[in-house]
Amino acid sequence: MPKFAANLSLMFNERGFLERFAAARAAGFDAVEFLFPYAFEPEQIAGRLRRYGLQLVLHNFPPGDWAAGERGFACDPRRIAEFQNSVELAIDYATELGVPRLHCMAGKLPPKVEPERAHATFVSNLRFAAEACARHGIEVLIEPINDRDIPGYFLTRSRQAAEIIAECGADNLFLQYDFYHMQRMEGDLAHTLRERLPIIRHVQLADVPGRHEPGTGEINFPFLLKLLDELGYEGWVGCEYIPQGDTVEGLAWLSQFDLIRGKVASRQL
């Protein structure tokens, strides 16, 4: 079955961020992901990864002013120099933390910027990021995000992402496919998985509505995760969901759907 990584930005939030690494290991996870590491020194995170034998599989480029509502700025033609500096910062962290891939958030369409200009800026910035990351053996991912959670987000459809990836022409630029966002925007998840699998390098999950654990909403996760196996997907599946209650108690979905090799269930459930 698929390999699952705990998203430490959303899961185990009963604890402070740096304590979530131990909690993820205790719950049976071998890998983690999170949104951003930049509030901490790289060694603080690297030390916890080593101590608990965890692999960090993904984090994002800097998003801009998150508290003010920014969600990336890669499509903003007025902030190209800032974006290029953010790429270098992300690479500094990624190389120290051993991260194989970074997610580049497109950001919201800036005021008074035409979509065509935002598109051209995003493509140019992605080419810059991909070339810089390639020198360190790092992949760059882009992720369509639903525009109900983030109104005005520039990248919202898997076809749009696929076309941008093709236009960029970078060998290390791929798709990050999130079941939650794409169910809200597109549906037809199984067909899209089959069609987009050659460019997918990371998958994330949460149920709809609510963005909670699998089994709390409408998505047929046993079917989709089995399909990932049948299609030969070998990457990680990030558990980027908001637990309805206690994180560990919520991990019962893994056992219920028989989607693990017994590790999480035997340790905690």
Exactly one of 33, 139, 213, 240 is catalytic; name it.
Answer: 240
CA dihedral 208, 64, 134, 115 (to 10 degrees): 70
What is the rounded CA–CA span in Å between residue 117 and residue 75? Answer: 8
What is the rounded CA–CA span in Å between residue 186 and residue 184? Answer: 6
Q: Catalytic annotation on 218?
A: no
CB count within 10 Å of CB 124 equals 16
Beta-carbon contacts of residue 128 (< 8 Å; ≥ 6 apart): 83, 84, 87
Q: Residue 102: enclosing H or E segment and its boundaries? A: strand 101-103
Contact predicate 87/129, CB 8 Å: yes
Q: Token pair of 104, please?
A: 């580049």
Exactly one of 33, 139, 143, 213 is catalytic; name it.
Answer: 143
CA dihedral 198, 105, 27, 235 (to 10 degrees): 10
Q: Catalytic annotation on 240?
A: yes
First-to-last CA distance in the chain?
A: 19
Strand 55-60 and strand 101-103: pairing? parallel
Active site residues per annotation: 143, 240
